[in-house]
Amino acid sequence: MTDFLISIYPWTKAFHIMSVIAWMAGLFYLPRLFVHHVERAGESSDMAAVFEMMEVKLLRLIMNPAFVATWVFGLCLVFTPGIVDWGEIWPWTKAGAVLVMSWFHHWLGWRRKDLLNGTNTWTGRQFRMMNEVPTVLMVVIVLSVVVRF
């Protein structure tokens, strides 16, 4: 199995990067949709329906598959011999940030359900602030992998 993982390493890495890009795009965009949903949807039920459709399609058709693919290809990289040295600090900082980013993905799903059910208590300003979470996590992940701190 390890020989197989070594032989497909460039492909695994490429698909991991593409998956991360798609996932991150959704993590950046969905909170912005929530901001507009909260601030504009009260103006008309048609507007709310448009935001709900956009949110559900983004989450189900782009973010969820990209999330799964990111994890699958990431774990393949972790199990490829010679790629990760768990004696260093960087894999631990990356892993911690990825776990928090995964939690954030699920948190967005919970907020989408709140918006659909009419039980949302978050303001547009609060969603704007939460929109910075994936940026901070991305910085930690990229610096961990590239600089290896």
Q: What is the pLDDT of residues 17-50, one digit of tens each?
A: 999 999 999 999 999 999 999 998 776 788 889 9
Question: DSSP readout, 48-114?
Answer: HHHHHHHHHHIIIIIIHHHHHHHHHHHHHHHHSTTT--TTSSHHHHHHHHHHHHHHHHHHHHHHHHH
Please state the pTM of the whole predicted model: 0.93
pLDDT bin (cut points 50, 70, 90) of residue 149 is: confident
Domain that holds residue 88: 2-146
**Total structural domains in the chain?**
1
The amino acid occupying position 33 is L
- CB atoms closer than 10 angstroms to residue 32: 13
Q: What pLDDT was estimated at residue 41?
A: 75
Distance, in Å, from the CA atom of 34 to the CA atom of 136, rounded to the nearest integer, reads 19
Distance, in Å, from the CA atom of 44 to the CA atom of 55, rounded to the nearest integer, reads 17
Q: What pLDDT was estimated at residue 40?
A: 87
Does residue 108 contact residue 59 with C-beta atoms inside 8 Å?
Answer: yes
Structure tokens at 52: 């709900």
Q: What pLDDT was estimated at residue 4?
A: 93
Q: What pLDDT was estimated at residue 43?
A: 65
Q: Is pLDDT of 1 > 90?
A: no
Per-residue pLDDT tens over the stretch 82-130:
999 999 999 999 999 999 999 999 999 999 999 999 899 999 999 999 9
The alpha carbon of 142 is separated from its chain's Cα centroid by a whole number of angstroms, namely 14
